[in-house]
Amino acid sequence: MAVNIRQFINVGGIISDLKSFNFSLYGQWFGYINIILCLALGIANLFHVSAVIAFGIVSIVQGLIILFIEIPFLLKICPLSNNFIEFIKKFETNGYRCLFYIGMSVIQWCSIILQATSLIVVAVGLTISAISYGIAFSKHQEFQNTKILKNPQDDDFPHEAIVREML
């Protein structure tokens, strides 16, 4: 039996997220994109023969921190220290996430001082997330989680046997 990834993705939820005009959802979507950008471009910049390597390493660390901020489920399944979990839980509101992304983007914008590299894309992505969360904060929008994945309690969620077969 073939397993389709669409069985796990909630297409209707994605469309409702896009139509909601809730900027915290947009910030979260850009946060997911930033995870990929930070990790990929951070690794790509490790091959420079200059001090940009430091910003590449920082980008990788930023990607991992954003991963835990934007996907809080990972805090429950990964063995982490209590200090790190408490640090991540501080960013559960739009205001704090905006400040977090502003700080992260400033760090990556500083990489231009040394050399203009692909880390500019990381800086732009982090800035877009900061702007999205900032707009959500200024409009007093509630922080919401995206509905990209189906709820396991839904009737059309793949059963355990399908998941086992996939693994």
CB neighbours (10 Å) of residue 78?
A: 11
User: Per the domain annotation, does 131 fall within a domain?
Assistant: yes
User: Per the domain annotation, does 165 fall within a domain?
Assistant: no
Residue at 34: amino acid letter:
N
Each residue's pLDDT, cut to its tens digit, for the chain (167 residues) gives 455 556 556 666 666 666 677 888 888 889 999 999 999 999 999 988 888 999 999 999 999 999 999 888 888 888 888 999 899 988 888 899 999 999 999 999 999 998 889 999 999 999 999 999 999 999 888 876 665 554 455 555 555 545 555 55
Which residues span the domain enclosing 103? Answer: 30-149
Write down the pLDDT at residue 131. 95
User: Per the domain annotation, does 81 fall within a domain?
Assistant: yes
User: Per the domain annotation, does 135 fall within a domain?
Assistant: yes
User: Per the domain annotation, does 17 fall within a domain?
Assistant: no
Structural domain total, the chain: 1
Write down the pLDDT at residue 73. 81
Closest CA to 30 of 110, 121, 109, 140: 121
Helix residue ranges, H only, the chain: 11-19, 23-44, 52-70, 73-77, 82-89, 94-109, 111-114, 119-138, 160-166
